[in-house]
Amino acid sequence: MHALVVAPLLLSLVGAPTEERLDLDRLVELAKAQHPRLGEARAVARAREAEAKSARGRLLPAIALHDELQHYTSPFDISFGGGSFQARGQDTNLFVASATQPLLGLGARIERYRAAEAGAGASTERLSSAEAALTESLRIAYLELFEARALEDIAAASKAELEEQRAVAEAKVKAGALTRADRLRVEVAAANAEQQRIEAGASVATARAQLLTAVGLSPEAPVALEEPTVLLARGEAPPPLYDAAQAQALEARPELSALEGERAAAVHKSDAAWWDLLPEVDVEAAYVRTDGQAFAPKDQAYVGLAANWRVFEWGAGWYAREASEAAAEAASASLEAAHRALYAELAQRLARLRASQGAVAVAQTAIASAEEAFRVTREAVDVGAATTTDLLDAESALTQARLRLTHARYAAAIARVQLDRAMGVD
């Protein structure tokens, strides 16, 4: 099924003359369809579900068929009163159809079924947790890619502005209004901007390759990715209160549900160990067909009770019960530790989101000031009231303000993705 999902897209990408446009949701679908970690989790979930069904089947009557054919070297004849008769033929056959239903032992089987069912539910939640973790990592990688693109655009804009100033400086040097040193300073600044653009471009290529590889595509696949406008907008939305975030996480985090299922499974296994200390009592019914035996009726049936009690086995059952109780205590402690870790994680991620949103507000104010300062300085340079150094400083301050705003916006979006993951929000 996974190949059927991915193959058409890959074929279209290979054969298409133009780029295929994909958004983040489509990339997540591709990753979920064929990621090996999720395949492993799905297989484990199927195995646990099958184990639960197997345990449920042991609650019902067990029906067995038995047939035994024996060929002897000769018949068995008995002499009696001067004559003889055949007590057993050379060939005999015994056929038994039986049914067994546990009674007292049903308690242990019920608890084992409940344990298996809880374990299956825990495995399903583990699969959901793996999917959520994969989605979070892809969203963060997607945002990091577009942040790198934004930084590349800022470097390109800075280079364009400096190239314009270099042309102006060249004209002023020829006119004698500027010195050659002023022109060289502008050229150095333009070269630095170009270097920053090249480094940002390398970061874009690396981030893109990592993202496409993570979803099973070639790093050089001709795909055009949609802007993460929804994630950026969500990063600007007001964060929830801590109490609301905690309530949401306790209800929706699959990791907590998985640990709760594992704790319930351990408790049921402990209860089953208590039941194992009691005798087993089963109801039995059977039909028996005997051929070749003179003293055995051909057809007979019976109904009865069978009891079995392991009275002494050197403490094996008792210590197995103690082990299962200790495992249940450990599962409860693990669940409590997960709750405490979640509370700390929520507080940390909420604080990070609030700090990032605060940085966005500060950066927006700073960039407005930097743009105005650059405009005023450029006009002052044009009329000779400011130097080239002043203009380069203003341009550098504007570029840094743009960089800080871009980083703050994407940091807020990433912080919101991480908070959503901590809260169990898809």
User: How many whole angstroms separate alpha carbon 291 and alpha carbon 396?
Assistant: 104
**Residue 341 forms part of a structural domain:** yes
Picking from 361, 352, 392, 416, the residue whose alpha carbon sits closest to that of residue 140 is 416
pLDDT tens digits, one per residue of 213-270: 888 888 888 888 899 999 999 999 999 999 999 999 999 999 999 999 999 999 999 9
H/E run at residue 225: strand 223-225
CA distances from residue 244 to 247, 318, 346, 357 in whole angstroms, order as listed = 5, 46, 11, 19
Q: Model's pTM, two decimal places?
A: 0.81
pLDDT tens digits, one per residue of 337-375: 999 999 999 999 999 999 999 999 999 999 889 888 888
**Residue 201 forms part of a structural domain:** yes
pLDDT tens digits, one per residue of 194-205: 888 898 889 899
- Three-state DSSP class for 288? strand
DSSP string, 110-141: HHHHHHHHHHHHHHHHHHHHHHHHHHHHHHHH
**Residue 291 forms part of a structural domain:** no
**Residue 164 forms part of a structural domain:** yes
**Residue 206 forms part of a structural domain:** yes
**Residue 416 forms part of a structural domain:** yes
Picking from 43, 238, 254, 218, the residue whose alpha carbon sits closest to that of residue 135 is 254
**Residue 215 forms part of a structural domain:** yes
DSSP letter at 293?
E
Most confident of 206-210, 254-258, 389-393: 254-258
What CATH number did the domain enclosing 28 receive? 1.20.1600.10
User: How many whole angstroms separate alpha carbon 332 and alpha carbon 352?
Assistant: 30
Burial 28-59 (b: 16+ CB within 10 A, else e): bebbbbbbeebeebbebbeebbebbeebbebe
The HSE-up count of residue 31 (CA atoms within 13 Å, CB side) is: 25
Section 386-397 average pLDDT? 82
* Better-scored residue on pLDDT, 164 or 128: 128
**Residue 29 forms part of a structural domain:** yes
Between the two ends of the chain, the Cα-to-Cα distance in Å is 24
Mean pLDDT of the chain: 88
User: How many whole angstroms separate alpha carbon 373 and alpha carbon 72?
Assistant: 113
* Domain ranges, residue 375: 24-60+104-277+315-423
pLDDT of residue 6: 44
User: How many whole angstroms separate alpha carbon 421 and alpha carbon 136?
Assistant: 7
CB burial of residue 135 (10 Å; 0-12, 13-18, 19+): buried
Q: Count of domains in the chain?
A: 1
* Helix pair 316-382, 229-236: axis angle to 10 deg: 90
pLDDT tens digits, one per residue of 270-281: 999 999 999 999
